[in-house]
Amino acid sequence: SSAEKGGYEHFMIKEIMEQPKAIRDTLTGRLPDSGFEVNLDGINITKEDLQKLNKIFIVACGTAYHAGIVGKHVIEKLTRIPVEVDIASEFRYRDPIVDENTLTIVISQSGETIDTLVAMREAKARGSRTLGIVNVVGSSIAREVDDCLYTWAGPEIAVASTKAYTTQLICLYLIALDFATKLGTISYEEFANIRDEIKRLAEKVEYVLTHKENIQKYASEHFNAKDIFYLGRGLDFAVAMEGSLKLKEISYIHSEAYAAGELKHGTIALIEDGTFVIALATQEKLFEKMVSNIKEVKSRGAVVLSVAQEGNTDIENVSDHVLYIPRTLDILAPVLTVVPLQLFAYYTAVQRGCDVDKPRNLAKSVTVE
């Protein structure tokens, strides 16, 4: 009913709009305004536990896997512990190199995805400590992991995951900060800077959401596209994968995410006159590289919608449309960048008359193999 949807037409848009609250709830009590620590209820991993780790695995499916790719970048950057990310259905069958010096982080909204659950059990059987990032309280994964950090996103009903993803990112930032402070791999200044910026994210997501009509307009111009390509580098590539998945799962438009620098090794052959490309250029260090990649696809006829941090107006010279996200730290940008991509997928699917909340062939939680 409409009441259940809080007056919105679909659960998906309701859940997109709930992200500022979900982020605030996920942060509550965990990131003190002062001091040099994170308070992670449910995680009892000590400095000594961390010092013996030689690897972290992040294992998940679907959108949670995409959050894991962001997690890899962030944890490696802040702790210098090598992190490997794997798809749960691959991990469980490939005899992964996991032992008592490995920490296995599993990410799951439902806490019931069978591949993720079995992958976690497999890691545990090999002696790994297991840490869950889970939304559903008391779910199988939440009960079986050694340590569990909840995303306080509230119930997510739409099959396409939105607020679970953004809160999974928040948990990954918190875990990275917690480990880095314990290991001494971060200075107080850097910690305080990241902490303060994390606390501003909910408000910045709100700001992105107030401009949703712009995105609706782009969706109404491109909803008939046959293929849409998402390009990015670094963390923007991780977000591109999630944006592309959102689009294909609910609008049924063929879509690919590509590491922008890899395009020239094959996929650029598919760019022709009028091909729609969404180019993510939010990473300051990679901005100029992305501008070159945008020129490459433009010169083959692509129509480009770019996403950049506010102030980087140079991008307008090479793009057909530009969406700006509020300025933030590069590592935190995914939380903001994904929001216009969620909205674009949503409005595109609505325009095409798709069953947005219950896309064909998909289930909210895959509990059988």
What does the binding site for ligand G6P look like in residue numbers (CB under 6 A)? 61-64, 108-110, 113, 116, 159-161, 362, 364-366
Residues 102 and 224: their CA atoms lie apart, in Å, by 47
Whichever of 147 and 249 has its CB closer to ligand G6P, that residue is: 249
Which pair of structure tokens corresponds to residue 124?
């545990």
Least CB distance from residue 112 to ligand G6P, whole Å?
Answer: 7
Q: Which of 199, 248, 298, 364 is catalytic?
A: 364
State the residue number with the nearest CB to ligand G6P.
62
Burial 204-213 (b: 16+ CB within 10 A, else e): bbbebbeebe
Q: What is the dihedral of CA 306, 251, 24, 46, to 10 degrees?
A: -90
Least CB distance from residue 319 to ligand G6P, whole Å?
Answer: 30
The single residue listed with the structure tokens 């994968």 is: 241
Whichever of 67 and 209 has its CB closer to ligand G6P, that residue is: 67
Least CB distance from residue 245 to ligand G6P, whole Å?
Answer: 8
The number of residues making up the chain comes to: 369
Q: Is 323 left (phi over 0), alpha (psi -120 to 50) or beta?
A: beta
Least CB distance from residue 16 to ligand G6P, whole Å?
Answer: 14
Is 364 designated active site? yes
Whichever of 61 and 194 has its CB closer to ligand G6P, that residue is: 61
Whichever of 27 and 107 has its CB closer to ligand G6P, that residue is: 107
Residues 187 and 185: their CA atoms lie apart, in Å, by 7
- Which sequence positions are flagged as catalytic? 364
